[in-house]
Every structure is written in structure tokens, then in C-alpha cells.
């Protein structure tokens, strides 16, 4: 029998890992936010970028120290696949990878003539252990709990594991030797995105599966991605964080699906995490709305843990 002893929620945007001077070069959208802050001009100044960048790095360091100092037998990660393993010709709602290892590929070089910023990542190994036995156990358990789960033991050779999962190695723990289980949730691509309730139920079902696993006793669960982006919606983010903090299942189930689009949909990974951590209390390290250009482009970055 295993218990979830640690939960971690983190953003994984490239904005975390580029110099603050480069934030405006990460791309923009002309789509306006319904909630543009009155002090947006102040937030688009380099001094503000630098202050927020420093806060982000502090939060990453704190999470890195926490996960490395917590003894666990496996790490389960809820993340989204952005056409890294699956495309529209075959897009499962929920998929679990149960191969023996995961490959982590260096980020692709920027296209010629591109002004896309350099992303500063930690040096990683090319391969890390996957908890194949636990992954298979969870597939069986979720099936018994009447979840229709796609399984795969193959990663695309040209891509390796997706960016939602490689963030663990590239920023939090380059020397990680704890095997992982990647759970790929289709938050991005309609029409088969799971609802907030379904994601929460998925997390609870994963916790139930872990409780019947005989291969270890202590498990960490991560949620990778979010919060609102590329258009920042601070009221939505606060609604999510308040519900997570209060363990308000009804509020999590009722999150407005019409707002969970594009990158903002990665909030669903945090909803699944809440189901998986059970009664563990949440500690919010920081919430940083990282505006980088008008009218409201950026990424609202959040970092939290449950233990």
C-alpha cells in the first residue's frame, strides 16, 4: 500500500527559464483579457520583469529542494501532451505511458533568423527510469474503476517525453533517479477534453490505485503547467487557487470550461492533483502574473506544494 506524501504544482512556461530582458520576445497575442490591470504599464517595465523573474527562480529553488529532500518510491505526473506523442488522428482523453524508461531530448535549436530567446535549462541525462510496474498497475486499477485509459509503451524517438514531464529534470531535479509515471491529460484539444469534475475524479482514482500498489510506500504527485496564459486572467487564477486551498471540490468541479482554453487549460492538471493528494493541505509559495506585452499577453505562474 502506498500513500501520497507530497504534491507539487508548478508552471512550466518558457518564461520561467529565459532572461527577464527577453520576456517581450516570447510571443504575443492581440486577444484582450476581460481583466486588464490598471497598472499594466508599470508591470511591463524591465524593473518589474526582473523582480518577478527573481521570485520565480526562488520558487523553483524551493520546490527543487523539497522534492529532492522528500523520500519517495515513485513520482506520478499529470501533464498535457501538445502534439508531442499524440496528434489529431489519435488524441486520447487520458493516456498513461508504461514503458521502462523516458528519454529527455535537448530543446530544439531556434529557427534561423528567429529572435526566440535562449532558454536556460539544467543539463540532463538522456534517459531516466519510468515506473513501468506502477504505471501498469494504475492502468489496471483505473480500468477497474471504469476509466477508459489509453496505454502506450512507446515514445516518439524524435521527441522523447513531452515538455510537461521533462520540466522535472530540466529545472527541478536533473539527477532524479526516482521512476516516474507520466499521465497525459488532453487539456488542449477539443472535442474530447475531460471536464474539471472528470479530472478531479481521475486524481481520486489514481490515489485509490496507489493505495493498492505493493511496490512502494511513498509517492509524490506533480501537476505541470498553468495557470492562465497566453492571455492572463487573474480572477480565474484566484478562483482556482482559492478552491485548491479550501479543498472546495464543488468549486473545482464548477470551473468554467469556456475559460479553460489553450494554455489556461493546464489548470486541469492541478484539479487532478487535488483529487490525488486527498486531505494533504496546500501551501502556496507564490503566484506571479507575468505580463510581458499588451494587451494582456503573458503567463500567470504559480508554485505550490501539499504535504
For residue 2, give the DSSP letter.
Answer: -
Distance between CA 27 and CA 47 in Å, rounded?
A: 20
* Separation of alpha carbons 45 and 30, rounded Å: 19
pLDDT of residue 116: 80
N- to C-terminal Cα separation, the chain:
18
Strand pairing class (229-231; 150-152):
unpaired
Place of cell 520561467: 16
Nearest one of 225, 220, 95 to 167, comparing CA atoms: 225
Q: Write the DSSP symbol of residue 17.
A: G
Q: How much is the pLDDT for 210?
A: 98
Block means of pLDDT (10 residues each) for the chain, 307 residues, are 96 96 90 88 96 98 98 98 92 96 80 75 95 98 97 90 96 98 96 97 98 96 96 97 98 97 96 98 98 93 98
Residue among 184, 185, 194 at smallest CA distance from 257: 194
Other beta carbons less than 10 A from residue 7's beta carbon? 27
Phi and psi (nearest 5°) for 206?
-65, -45
What the chain holds in terms of domains, given with CATH numbers, is 3-109+119-306 (3.40.830.10)
The residue to which cell 505493493 is assigned? 214
Amino acid at each position: 500500500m502506498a500513500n501520497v506524501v507530497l504534491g507539487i504544482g508548478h508552471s512550466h512556461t518558457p518564461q520561467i527559464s529565459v532572461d527577464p530582458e527577453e520576456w517581450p520576445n516570447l510571443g504575443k497575442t492581440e486577444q484582450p483579457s476581460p481583466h486588464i490591470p490598471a497598472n499594466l504599464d508599470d508591470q511591463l517595465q524591465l524593473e518589474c520583469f526582473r523582480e518577478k523573474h527573481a521570485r520565480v527562480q526562488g520558487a523553483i529553488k524551493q520546490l527543487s529542494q523539497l522534492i529532492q529532500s522528500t523520500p519517495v518510491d515513485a513520482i506520478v505526473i499529470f501533464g498535457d501532451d501538445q502534439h508531442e506523442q499524440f496528434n489529431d488522428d489519435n488524441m486520447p482523453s487520458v493516456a498513461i505511458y508504461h514503458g521502462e524508461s523516458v528519454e529527455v531530448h535537448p530543446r530544439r535549436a531556434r529557427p534561423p533568423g528567429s529572435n526566440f530567446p535562449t532558454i536556460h535549462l539544467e543539463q540532463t541525462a538522456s534517459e531516466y527510469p519510468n515506473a513501468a510496474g506502477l504505471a501498469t498497475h494504475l492502468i489496471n486499477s483505473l480500468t477497474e474503476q471504469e476509466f477508459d485509459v489509453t496505454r502506450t509503451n512507446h515514445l516518439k524517438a524524435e521527441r522523447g517525453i513531452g515538455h510537461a514531464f521533462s520540466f522535472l529534470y530540466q529545472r527541478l531535479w536533473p539527477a532524479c533517479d526516482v521512476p516516474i509515471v507520466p499521465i497525459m491529460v488532453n487539456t488542449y484539444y477539443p472535442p474530447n477534453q475531460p471536464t474539471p469534475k472528470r479530472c478531479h475524479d481521475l486524481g481520486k482514482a489514481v490515489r485509490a490505485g496507489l493505495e493498492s500498489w505493493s511496490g512502494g510506500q511513498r509517492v509524490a504527485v506533480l501537476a505541470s503547467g498553468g495557470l492562465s496564459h497566453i492571455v492572463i486572467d487573474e480572477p480565474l487564477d484566484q478562483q482556482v487557487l482559492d478552491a485548491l486551498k479550501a479543498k472546495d471540490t464543488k468549486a473545482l468541479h464548477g470551473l468554467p470550461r469556456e475559460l479553460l482554453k489553450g494554455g489556461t487549460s493546464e489548470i486541469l492538471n492541478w484539479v487532478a492533483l487535488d483529487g490525488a493528494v486527498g486531505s494533504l493541505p496546500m501551501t502556496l509559495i507564490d503566484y506571479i502574473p507575468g505580463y510581458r506585452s499588451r494587451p494582456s499577453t503573458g503567463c500567470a505562474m504559480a508554485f505550490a506544494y501539499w504535504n
